[in-house]
Amino acid sequence: MAKPMVLIVEDDSILICLLTQAVNKFEYTAVVARSGGEALGIIASKMPALILLDLGLPDMDGTDIIRSVRKTSAVPIIVVSARDKEQDKVDALDLGADDYVTKPFDTRELLARMRAAMRHYSNMITCGEQHSEMYYHCGDLFIDHEHRRITLKGKEIHLTQNEYKIIELLSRSGGKVLTHNNIIDAVWGSDAPNDTKILRVNIANIRRKLKGSGGSEYIITEPGIGYRMPEADPIQ
Ligand code: CA
């Protein structure tokens, strides 16, 4: 069977080389597009399994590609960008990118992000977003999505309804960053004001409850962007 294809959209030759090596380690076939136009042509003709996307392309902005792809497809998109402004990352994620890696990137980190995005996508298409994974298990933390039950070292953790919604959302996307907007929309509804204060208060409460039971840090802050939980442990 042919290996699934990863499309690398990048105009810098050195980065193309590094990204191609990373993709080959991932045991996927790398296809390169050096411009936005070329990328859109390839995406339309042979659907890649994942897209690694540079934002600064010679003929268009990478965010235009995210916008265009998201009209028809949920294929995982990971932004690989030199732009380190938080707003650029937030914009890309809010437009529907799955994750981002800042250049210069660490290959192991990139591979972890690729794995998380692919797993999330395959769960979404096989089970539907709402029913993706029944459990989340990482270290001492166990979340039973079906019964809405959280235990840490076997001891039950009691969360408020909104606290539970937040941890459910983050754990279902384990390994993937979610922006403040993503979380606020999902928990309080898209009409809710984009006020991160209430979100921060809820996250602080969840952390306090987990720490109080001797848990380590399960919710990682991405400063100025949002939060992510670690990838779930592999199923034994
Ligand atoms: Ca570039």
pLDDT of residue 77: 97
pLDDT band at 61 (very low <50, low <70, confident <90, very high): very high
Residue 131 has pLDDT above 50, yes or no: no
Residue 129 has pLDDT above 70, yes or no: no
Task: Quote the ligand 1 centre to 183 CA distance (angstroms).
Answer: 30
> Apex CA 90: angle with CA 193 and CA 186, to 5°?
45
pLDDT band at 127 (very low <50, low <70, confident <90, very high): low
pLDDT of residue 38: 97
Q: What is the mean pLDDT of the chain?
A: 89
For 1-5, 129-133, 203-207, 230-234, which range has the lowest pLDDT when averaged over its residues? Answer: 129-133
Q: List, for residues 209-218, the tens digit of each pLDDT value.
A: 998 777 778 9
pLDDT of residue 235: 67
pTM: predicted TM-score of the whole model, two decimal places: 0.80
Answer whether 64's CB lies under 8 Å from 200's CB: no
Task: Quote the ligand 1 centre to 85 CA distance (angstroms).
Answer: 15
Q: List, for residues 2-34, the tens digit of each pLDDT value.
A: 788 999 999 999 999 999 999 998 888 999 999
Q: How far apart, in whole angstroms, are the C-alpha atoms of residue 61 and residue 47?
A: 21
**DSSP β-bridge partners for residue 52:** 8, 78
Task: Quote the ligand 1 centre to 48 CA distance (angstroms).
Answer: 20
Per-residue exposure over 142-152, b if at least 16 CB sit within 10 Å of its own CB, e if not: bbebeeeebeb
Task: Quote the ligand 1 centre to 169 CA distance (angstroms).
Answer: 33
- Give the best-scoring range by mean pLDDT among 49-63, 84-98, 110-124, 187-201: 49-63
pLDDT of residue 51: 97
pLDDT of residue 83: 74
pLDDT of residue 236: 58
* Beta-strand runs (E) in the chain: 5-9, 29-33, 50-53, 77-81, 99-102, 135-138, 141-144, 149-152, 155-157, 178-179, 220-222, 226-228
Task: Quote the ligand 1 centre to 101 CA distance (angstroms).
Answer: 14
pLDDT of residue 1: 61
pLDDT above 70: percentage of residues in the chain: 94
